[in-house]
Chain A
Amino acid sequence: SQQGEEDPQALSIQEGENATMNCSYKTSINNLQWYRQNSGRGLVHLILIRSNEREKHSGRLRVTLDTSKKSSSLLITASRAADTASYFCATSTAGDYKLSFGAGTTVTVRA
């Protein structure tokens, strides 16, 4: 079963604009991770935020986590055509070594 749900399902933006996508989950988590997947390829890890963290940055990525609302957001600033991909949030729970993924947000960056 999929624990996370991303919103929106799809997003189309102009190059240089920011892209924001949200993830909601159902149960208490140990950490939350974001992954990127280019069409027909494997997933690539972007960033991990622990349950006791509220915000994290990595390059043009900014992730927030609100455990009271069971939600996270991923912001990609100054988007590029190469950012065109599907983005997935994934959660882990304490004592469980697997990740549960959401259905993803498909981002299209127009040149």
Chain B
Amino acid sequence: DTGVSQNPRHKITKRGQNVTFRCDPISEHNRLYWYRQTLGQGPEFLTYFQNEAQLEKSRLLSDRFSAERPKGSFSTLEIQRTEQGDSAMYLCASSPPGTGTGELFFGEGSRLTVL
């Protein structure tokens, strides 16, 4: 098992551009989470999926953000019309079925810099 994989690891973009991040969870993990982390802060919850269903979205998630998990496997997080305030580390995590809110397995993150 290779763990949670996130791509790209780093993305530099200009304000107003769209960016997309991909997360491949650990196989057979049915829950997938997206968090955002800014420098010196803890991760902030953005959204999570159980299989392909998006079950919760944070109020922090503006309508410029959209996440999908079309076949219940990998997930994408798209940010449209990026702003400098979107600069952050975007973390993906997954968890196996039947564990309640147990351990989350995190990827290495995708760092976004908006110029």
Contacts and interface: CB of A to CB of B under 8 A. Distances in A.
Interface in B1-47: 4, 31, 33, 35, 40-45
B106 interface: yes
Given A30-B100, A96-B101, A97-B55, A88 B109 contact: no
Contacts of B35: 101
A25 B90 CA distance: 24
A43 B43 contact: yes
A97 B100 CA distance: 7
B73 interface: no
A99 B101 contact: yes
Contacts, number: 63
Contacts of A30: 100-101
A98 B43 contact: no
A97 B109 contact: no
Nearest to A46: B103
Contacts of B91: 42-43
A48 B56 contact: no
A19 B23 CA distance: 34
B105 interface: yes
13 contacts: A2-B42, A4-B42, A30-B100, A30-B101, A31-B101, A42-B108, A42-B109, A43-B104, A88-B42, A97-B50, A98-B33, A99-B45, A104-B42
Interface of A: 2, 4, 30-31, 33, 35, 40-45, 48, 88, 90, 92, 96-104
